[in-house]
Each structure stands twice: as C-alpha cells, then as structure tokens.
Structure 1
C-alpha cells in the first residue's frame, strides 16, 4: 500500500515549501515520493518546484473538492498505473476543504491501495491572528482547514512576538484540541513527526465550496523586464483581498528571471538560471478592479 498525506492550508501559508522539504526527506530515507497537486488557476507555477524524477499529476483551473473530483480520480488512477512509488503527497489548493478533498480523492477503484496517514494543515500564524479582516466565507474556510487537521504547523512564527505566538497557539487549540501543533518557520518539520501522524475521527463538515468564496485568478504576462522598485511599490498598495501572487519575472538588468512569491504583504524573490516566461498569477477577490503595473 502507498502511504498518503494530504497537505492543507490557506493560500500562501507554506504548503509548497513543506512539500519540497518532505520530498527531499523521503528521498534521503530511500523512499520514492509521488505528488498530486491542485491549483485554482489555469497555470501551476508550484509544479516547477517538484523536481525531476518525482511522478506528478495535477488538476488546474478548479478545485478537487468541487468540479474537479472526477478529474482527480482519473489522475490518481493514472499515477498509480504509470508509476511505482512509496508515498503520495497531495497538495490541495488553498481554497479546498480538506475533508471534501479526501472524499474526492478516495475512489473505490483504488482506495484499497492507499494507506491514508492524515491531514497536515499549514496555518499562517500571522494571518490567523488577523483573521477577522478576512471575508466571512474565507475566514470560515480558514477555520475549517485548522479544525480537521491531524497535524498542525503554526507557520511563520518568526513574524510574531512571543506573546503573539502564545496567543496563536492558544486560539488554534480552541479550534482543534486533538491535533498536535508545532510552531514552524518556513514549514520546517522533521520527517519523523510527519510519519507519526494518524488520522482522527472527523467531525461534522461545514460546507465552504470554492464557488461561494468569490475567489478569482488572474494571469498577467509581461513583454519587457520590470523595474523592481516600481513593482514593489505597486505591491505595497494592493488591497487585502489579494491573497497570493506567484510566477516568474525578469528584473531590469538581469538576464534570467526570478521566481516570485507574494502572500499577505510578504515578498520573496529567488533567482532562476533558465529562460522562463514572464508571467504571474494572482489569486484573491475583486481582481477585476485591480489596476495592473
């Protein structure tokens, strides 16, 4: 049987960072991981992070717990038929309810081949403390992702004071008193902790389908290199309803693009060493009102 871990968490919480680390650790242990990824938009920049030699299937432009459930079943069945692997790591879109995602993934066609180990939810600690600023639908999903976790990573604790860290842990425990909670920076957690996870009995599910969340995606392409200072000034003026931006951008004076990540006001640039399309994807609400740089 193949061990299965489902990585949950809202947009920009650190799921892909966790995924990359776990792929490396499983390989170092001599195990072969495979990955199934889901993205709301029509492009998945995160799949570039998986690396060569790792079997990968993905669902784009939809949520596996909504219209994409049949596609998810087909993709996982194909993955099992085409590749030999020991561990399946499933990264859901940030708009997915983890229990609904499980329902979509475990088909009678291959359920007996999967050994589900648990839901690992990555929660942005800073955003959690500021959750009242989110729309009611988004806040409800955020809470549901925490409530149904078997292992909770209270991530980005380096952005909080000690008192704020204590407050975040206390409030998370009120939502999910049974899950193990680990404070992390950059979703760094030892593999042995992940392997100790076991699924808990699920409570009632509060419906929070993506169709009711008003989340949108917008792809923006650039024909010319961009000025970093001007672009970051545009970022500073974005409304709070832009939750996530990611992609590749060539900066003025550079031959190769940078991998670009943005979540809740935090920006990360990482240099790349190959030619990639200058393109970013935005995820949020009311994107049609945005003035692009």
Structure 2
C-alpha cells in the first residue's frame, strides 16, 4: 500500500476499526474511505454494491461486525449469525466484483473448538465442537474465513484472514449486557469504588484462562499483515500467554484502586476453559505484541478518566 492508496475501513467507528483508522493516519495514509452505519448499511447488499461501484477502493479492512460478550452472544443468537453473515458476504463479494487488490477479514479466537488443544494452532479450525454460548458468531466468522479462501481459489483474490484473541482498548463497549469480560470488570470495579460497595460479583468460577491483546497492537499487526502477508488460510493474532479470569479481576481491581472483596456467581457460565493463541505463524512473518497487559489496562483506565463513560 502507498500512502495515496484508496483504502476502505469497514467498521471504522468500532474498537477494531477505529484502531486501524488511527494506525493508518499515523503512518501517513490520506485516502481513507469510511462510512458509519447510517450512511452505509453493510447488511444491505444493494447499498454495499452501490458503494463499491462508486468508490472503487483498492484495499479493504473488514472490521465491521456485530460483537458482544457471553450474555449478548447467547441471547441474540439469530442476530449474531444473520448480521455477521450478511456483512461479510456483501463486502467480500463486492471486493471481488469491483477488483479490490487485497482484503483483510477479521474474525475471533472463538472460531476454534471448545476443547481444542492449547495453545490454539491455525490448523485446529473445524476439528471439534464449538463453545455453545457463542456458536452462531463463531460459525459466521468461520464462513468468512472459508469465503476468503474460496474467492482466492476460484478467482485468485488476495483475501487474507486474521483471528485476534480477546481485545480491549479505546472505544470498547462497557454495557454490562453486551460487553466482554475485561471492560465489564473495569466498569464493575469503577462503579463499586465510586459507590463504596463492599464487593464485586464475578461471573463463574474465575478459573478459565484468557489471553488479552490491546487493540492498538492488533491494528499494528493488521497493518503489518496487509503489507507483507499474502497466503490462504488464517493467521492468529495474540500475545502468546494468558491468565485466569480471577487474576485478571485482581489486576483490574488494583488498577482501579478498589479495596472491596470479589465474590463468585457460580450460577453463571464460565465459557471455554482456555483460549490461548499459538502465534508462531505471526511471529515467523515478523510481528510481536508490544503492549503489556497491566500497561494496557492502566492506559485504558487513564484515558477514561473522570468522564461519564457508561
């Protein structure tokens, strides 16, 4: 990509898309095309085709998706499957139809089987049953990976797929019904500190292990892959190490400065026991994460400051 290359960032107002947008601007790219959901409904094939016909982007970062945590995924199962399928089908198909030089499709670590060996290698895709609570979202993302590979095989399209681990950072979602675990815990501890509550309730046992990547690191990895990687299949994007949800809660409690207790609601689901990415493939193409977890959480919480961000 040259700095005057015409680049479409689908989902530029979300956490991932906005990080990619910031990264490209920092790298001097000026010809960036963005549309919010009111201006362009990516679920609507007519609107998407009209957009590609008019704009003719050369490169596409497909970061648009309907996303959420365990509760949202399990509650809005039809919405997560339908909307994500429609978004990626429309964008990937039009990218082929209108001659996009390269497309990067972004998925999630939830594509892997619930009980896959750890750490998760790219070749473990479709080797077992998915985690039931987020199966619809995972199926949609698996379909996106396979769609990119199918268009590559049939039409020679340079469409690549990156699967990030659990993300956090600027423009995250702090709605307790829809958020992922890390922002949900930041909110819970922040509100407990502000209201001087004696305890914070943690879903499940706290024993599941999770890996967390700052979204600015993901954007850096996406930029690197778009510049250097041109192969079929998928690439894991992560940090290569994990910690328990309980240890995450203790870390966030310290960052927030909350002094109360942590109690477990064992009636709530734990989700997948462990999700650690094998990042050897990404390391081999010259990229590693730079932002440590404590540093990243402190950065996020400092950025939030005293704003009314809930």
Higher helix fraction: Structure 1 or Structure 2?
Answer: 2
More strand by share: 1
